[in-house]
Amino acid sequence: MIKVLIVDDSAFMRNSISGMISTDPEIIVAGTARNGLEAVEKVSALKPDIVTMDVEMPVMNGIEALKHIMASNPVPVLMVSSLTTEDAKVTLDALDLGAVDFISKNLSDLSINIVKIRDILIEKIKAIARNGRVSRRPSISPKPIDMPRRGLKTVHRKIGIVAIGTSTGGPRALQHILSRIPKDFPVPILIAQHMPAAFTGPFAERLNQLSAIEVKEAEHGEPVRKGVAFIAPGSGHMGITRTKITETLINISEDNGTYIYKPSVDMLMLSVVEHYSGQVLGVILTGLGSDGANGMREIKNKGGMTIAESRETCVVYGMPKAVVEAGIADKVSPLDEIAGEIVNSV
């Protein structure tokens, strides 16, 4: 049984989350807490496998409670956040402090999709709790890697663009990778991170502050540029189009129900490989489900390169597992080595 501690000052939210996760026979609600101070005490007493943590609470807020829990009784924490830009920034702070993922607090606005919400919540809780990995802040900030010097006789790889896909655990993984990419990186990087629309802008801004390269939320119709990482906006799906031989533009399309997750990793990778064929480096990182497996397969089939994050560093070994088990990963590497693999591939 997976023991869950639910922390929220709202009785409605405590009851809603309890009701949803209790429908699964493998999950038990070990207890509830009304504020951060109670949460810290109950984590110590109940030893839950995972905690759902509200952000704004009296006595002690979720961020302060998270700091105490990570310092004294580290356990996977799933933040419960409103879908606003202000709350997005706080939630990103929580992910930086060790929370593994977040769920939407706007349950009352999404009653039509309550079954889908319940299934996603249960899937996240089970995958995260079974892994049991707590995301810790590195003691030393990573520094950018130097681009390799290639002699005249060196056969230069034909990689012209990098496509990265990730979900649960992705914000910390992307921070670790992008902060190590050198400023003179010679090709564009396109990234699909499963994330709501209110989060992707602040997330791109945060990565930009931590990275030597420019990181920005992608805009429809803007040209891709070398040495720039484009984060797919959560409002739709990102792909590319080519209007001229030398000009590639970002294409943001609305969600038409074809893809389960938004922004879709498969959509991104399939679009990129259509225009770059054998020149794509595909990277799949930690995440729930199998989004990206079809795109990575197409990248490999068209002569590109594929890298999957290894099990030992994934917060959730779902998306990389789908790629590895399908036999379409050229390399399987721990997170610490992926930035180097990317730099050495271009």
Tokens of 17: 């989350």
Domain positions in the chain are: 2-131, 161-345
Are 177 and 170 spatial neighbours (Cβ–Cβ below 8 Å)?
A: no
What count of Cα atoms within 13 Å lies in the side-chain half-sphere of residue 339?
20
Query: Sheet harboring 101-104: ordered strands across?
Result: 27-33, 2-7, 50-54, 77-81, 101-104
Are 162 and 227 spatial neighbours (Cβ–Cβ below 8 Å)?
A: no
Q: How many CB atoms lie within 10 A of CB 238?
A: 26
Look at residue 94 and give its three-state secondary structure. helix
For residues 340 and 336, what is the distance between their CA atoms, to the nearest angstrom? Answer: 8
Look at residue 128 and give its three-state secondary structure. helix
CA angle 339, 289, 166 (to 5 degrees): 25
Active centre residues (catalytic): 167, 194, 291
Nearest CA-CA partner of 166 in 106, 95, 111:
95
Q: Under CATH, which number does the domain 161-345 receive?
A: 3.40.50.180
Q: Cα dihedral angle (291, 296, 297, 300), rounded to 10 degrees?
A: 180
The per-residue pLDDT string of the chain (346 residues; one tens digit each, 9 = 90 and over) reads: 999 999 999 998 899 899 999 999 999 999 999 999 999 999 999 999 999 999 989 999 999 999 999 999 999 999 988 766 777 889 899 998 999 998 877 655 444 456 677 888 898 999 888 876 666 555 445 788 888 766 544 445 689 999 999 999 999 999 999 999 999 999 999 999 999 888 999 999 999 999 999 999 999 999 999 999 999 999 899 999 987 667 899 999 987 667 778 899 999 999 999 999 899 999 999 999 999 999 999 999 999 999 999 999 999 999 999 999 999 999 999 999 999 999 999 9
Q: Under CATH, which number does the domain 2-131 receive?
A: 3.40.50.2300
State the pLDDT at residue 166. Answer: 97
Tokens of 262: 């938004």
For residues 177 and 143, what is the distance between their CA atoms, to the nearest angstrom? Answer: 10
Look at residue 207 and give its three-state secondary structure. helix
Query: Given this chain, do its domains 2-131 and 161-345 carry the same CATH topology?
Result: yes
- pTM greater than 0.85: yes
Are 29 and 16 spatial neighbours (Cβ–Cβ below 8 Å)?
A: no
